Amino acid sequence: MEDFHHAIQDRFNESSACRGPTTLSEHAKRLARENHAEGNNYLDAYRQKITDPEAFILNRVDNEQHARELLIHVASLTSVLCCTPVTFGQIKNHTGLEYNFIVLDEAARMPESLFLVPMAKCPEALVRKDWQSFFGPQRKLV
């Protein structure tokens, strides 16, 4: 039985597209494992996905809701959230969380249409055009 639990744990640990320890999904999984009260529904759904895939499919709507609730809870605990503009738009659309400061790294390389996503979703956010004085000295490309 213990081998079975280890197999489930291994699948749980490897299921993210990005398994970096600082990703939102990995933080959510860690929180669910450490605090069963907050992640119990998610863990039950994940176990069901492994042990009874047919039941998991039948309960898909509820299972996705449990995962969404856990991610929203974890996102609400963050002070800094680094993501792409599209991901930021999805977070705003699906969580209702409010942010008043956004830093888009490499914003100069983004197409204009992607830059508009955070501006449309969070118009009250600070837009700092003078990034050199805000983030300190930067090397100028020649």
Q: Are residues 125 and 58 in the same domain?
A: no
Q: Are residues 88 and 31 in the same domain?
A: no
**Does 26 have pLDDT greater than 50?**
yes
What's the whole-number mean pLDDT along residues 94-105?
A: 72
Which long-range contacts does 26-30 make (Cβ < 8 Å, 24+ apart)? 27/74, 28/70, 28/71, 28/73, 28/74
- Helical packing angle, 24-34 and 36-51, nearest 10°: 100
Q: Are residues 58 and 96 in the same domain?
A: no
Total count of domains within the chain: 2
Contact 87, 95 (CB under 8 A): no
Domain hosting 69: range is: 1-78
Q: Which two tokens stand for residue 86?
A: 């599209």
Q: What pLDDT, in 10s, does the model give residues 37-77?
A: 777 888 888 889 899 999 999 999 998 998 888 888 888 88
Running DSSP on this structure, what letter comes out for residue 126?
B
> Comparing 24 with 124, which gets the higher pLDDT?
24
pLDDT at residue 25 in the model: 81
